[in-house]
Chains A and B, each alone.
Chain A
Amino acid sequence: MEANQQVKTTAVKGTDTARLVRGMVKNIYASAHEAKAKGQKVAYMMVASQYDEILRAMDIVPLPTENYAGLCAAKRDMDRFLLKAEADGYSQVLCSYARIGLGFDALRKELGRIPDGSPDGGMPLPDMMLGSSAVCDPRFKWYQATSRYLEAPTFGIDVVAPPPQDDLNEVRDYYIKYQRDQLQALIEFLEKQTGRKMDPERLWEAIRLGDRAWQLWYDIDRLRVAVPCPMPSQDHFSIMVAGHYYTGTQVAVDFYQKLYDEVKYKVENKIGVIADEKYRILYGGGLPPWHTLWIFNYFESFGAVFVIENVYRGFDPVEVPSHVKDPVDYLAWRAFLRFTRYHEKARARSGNPTVEKLLDMIADYKIDGVVFHACRSCRATTIGQVHIKSELGKYSNLPMMQLVSDMVDLRDYSEAQWKAQIGAFIEALQGRGK
């Protein structure tokens, strides 16, 4: 019954459109090199920092350093960067995305050039580095450390969300004001770096494109409630590139429109990811194992398809009040509404917005089991998984499993351990009589 051992890192995709993403990833780094050559500003940046559209509106080319780390892992070319960072004093338990980024920049400084054979040609030297406190601590601290290896102005912003127990009516105004102040400070920094004022109309245009792309992405995910599943999680971990790294561009809108059409066609014609879909799995949380994405196909060999996931998602669409007329105000409002989307629901039941979101997914997507991925070097997406698993258990009796490794550091991964765990998990699914 067990599938043959696979040696490649990537997964077989479920949709044709997802196969276009590889070119989009290559283009991120190629276009950054081209931009540098033309004298355009290039910025190291962090995904989901709520400032993407500002960069687009100001013609600053984003260089997502976390994505580069994931790419290195998918290419199994991460060790030289990890080891270099560790040799320079960075702990082996520090965020491995950061270790790869620091190691890459350290090696470049040492060699005086981009390390030979770096995936997709490596990252060009940035003109600036833009950290943020969205999601986790290393994301605002990493670029400060990078200043050890390269001279580029660094700027960080806070991205804030209130705890779910806060009374939103009490805190809303000052949270939004702070978010606006942080974004405005960033704009002033960028204006100084580029020597140009930001055009509010261009920002509105980028916002419109961003919202349109994310609405399409959301609609695609809603199509995935269909049985059989038309698009699996391994596709999500590719197609997220458009939403997170092309935010605010027509490229992202066109990509998601194409994907939407394909997924809709599959739903209408009942074309599933696999011929015999027995179990529908929720990827409950944790960064994906970029080093071993084929594991999703391994699950499929047992009839188990990951139909939806709770990481690197697009934000659900939110309705910013119509009285908001300024694009920076809009971004601040949108961030607040995105981050508090499940707060009221949490206050009414479990107290935990993530639990509420997962319970919605379990119901909507007809889930049979939940899998989490604990990453040894990622506090932000790992701490709380066991708790969430336990909370979910109060409301559902689904089999749940936590696999442990890391998002990019292969030293924390054991294939034998995973296969043993997956075997037991599949037995638990079988035991439920499906």
Chain B
Amino acid sequence: MTVMKQIEELYNERGKRARELHQAGRKVIGYFCCFVPDEIITALDMVPYRIQGSQNDPIDEADALLEPMACPFARSCFNMALKDQYDFLDGFVAPHSCDTIERMYHIWRSNKPSPFNHMINVPHMMGPSSDVFYRKELDYFILRLEEFAGAKLDQNKLRDAVRLYNRRRALLRELYDFRKADPPAISGTETTQVLVAGMGIPAAEHVKLLESLIAEIKNRPAPTADGLPRIFIWGNEIDDIAFIRLVEECGAHVVMDDLCTGTRFFWDDVPETPDPLDGITSRYIGTHCPRSLKPQTGLREEDLENRFGYMRKFVSRWRADGVIFYIVRYCDTCELEGPDLREYLNNLKLPVLMIEDDYSTSTIGQLRTRIQAFLEMIG
């Protein structure tokens, strides 16, 4: 079986490995978003599991407990919990990343409590005092998690965990390098499978798979350039291949992203600091997410550069021809960020298609015409 085939299986059966580990007596800690450090959970000999939804299944049971004007990704996750699809979780951790996740945490905890439940308050402001506060929140999280684990956090284990996750980050960046080629040596659809599969298994296992996959890709025959448009995707949660595949089926290559399920969660390393929690603090609080507010810098143009400059590198190095925003509906911070980012990218002469969607494969097909029209425009 090829490595990609193994990854596909993990992607298709997302909770399977975590469930096995839970049944073998390991503690599996489910969490949301990009603000819960995997390193801490791993260093306490527990398994971090990034909670995902299911775009293929209707949200039915959750609607009785969670209003439909909440983010459908969050509702989908909660729906799965109500249907016992997350019964392998020994712990449930939510960062206060946005209004929906914060409020849903309390509803989830009340209706489907795990043996361990915790919320990490994450500052929205970025600055020195926010770093100090977030560090204190991590200290408190560790205290609670130590009680649950029945063990103290070992600094050396934490350093090892930092190295392990940095190794995974480096491999994922190496994987993304294959996408610079024309055409990319790995498709956006395959990349999504690799990322999502990795969220449900221990990092050490993901590292091994990535090493093998990279070797496998290097042996792939070099295809000839096809001249198809190269697309950069910006948005929030894409934990299903349906949308990326649709864009690629319409005649484009998805070559780079800034998504909660993409570069946003892995791109930057944790600095290896004498106190590993210092590096973890600065890395996680610096996550590029619309829910975090960078202090205003100078006038409009300078401020946009300060906020979005990191994406200039993404679009230039991966030679993007156009950008598609995929915003899961009801994400207020993305909805407010979108027009600013569109202005910034338009100034870079990049066309932008803004899509707001319901996080459902049943509606994604309706987007085909809009995507085709956009690709024709930039093609």
Contacts and interface: CB of A to CB of B under 8 A. Distances in A.
A138 B99 CA distance: 9
B224 interface: no
A116 interface: no
Contacts of A95: 332
B69 A153 contact: no
A178 B140 contact: no
A148 B66 contact: no
A306 interface: no
B121 A160 contact: yes
A88 interface: yes
Interface stretch (B40-48, B103-111, B151-159): B103-111
B343 A379 contact: no
A98 B336 contact: yes
A170 interface: yes
B248 to A, nearest CB: 26
Contact of A93 (B96, B105, B106, B329): B329
Contacts of A155: 295-296
Interface stretch (B53-61, B122-130, B263-271, B360-368): B122-130
A137 B101 CA distance: 11
A56 interface: no
Given A170-B143, A386-B67, A138 B124 contact: no
Contacts of B71: 379
Interface string A243-276: 0000000000000000000000000000000000
A352 B110 contact: yes
B339 A386 contact: no
Interface in A340-385: 351-352, 374-380, 382-385
Contact of A137 (B300, B332, B354): B332
A171 B133 contact: no
B334 to A, nearest CB: 9
A156 B293 CA distance: 8
Contact of A140 (B100, B293, B343): B293
A379 B100 contact: yes
A424 interface: no
B330 A141 contact: no
B129 A148 contact: no
B296 A380 contact: no
B24 interface: no
A384 B329 CA distance: 18
Contact of A90 (B70, B96, B123, B336): B336
A301 interface: no
Contacts of A414: none
B169 interface: no
Interface stretch (A161-169, A192-200, A321-329): A161-169
A384 B106 contact: yes
Contacts of B133: 158, 160, 174-175, 177-178, 181
B335 interface: yes
A141 B332 contact: yes
A258 B103 CA distance: 38
B340 interface: yes
Nearest to B329: A93
Contacts of B140: 166, 170-171
Contact of A182 (B70, B129, B143): B129
A380 B104 CA distance: 11
Nearest to A180: B129
A382 B67 contact: yes
A145 interface: yes
B15 interface: no
Nearest to A152: B296
B246 to A, nearest CB: 21
A137 B121 contact: no
A91 B299 contact: no
Contacts of B198: none
A386 B330 CA distance: 18
A141 B337 contact: yes
Nearest to B136: A174
Most buried by B among A88, A178, A378: A178
6 contacts: A89-B338, A158-B130, A163-B105, A164-B106, A374-B69, A383-B69
Closest 3 CB pairs of A and B: A181-B129, A89-B339, A178-B133
Interface of A: 88-91, 93-95, 98, 131, 133, 136-138, 140-142, 144-145, 147-148, 151, 153-158, 160, 162-166, 170-171, 174-175, 177-178, 181-182, 185, 351-352, 374-380, 382-387, 390-391
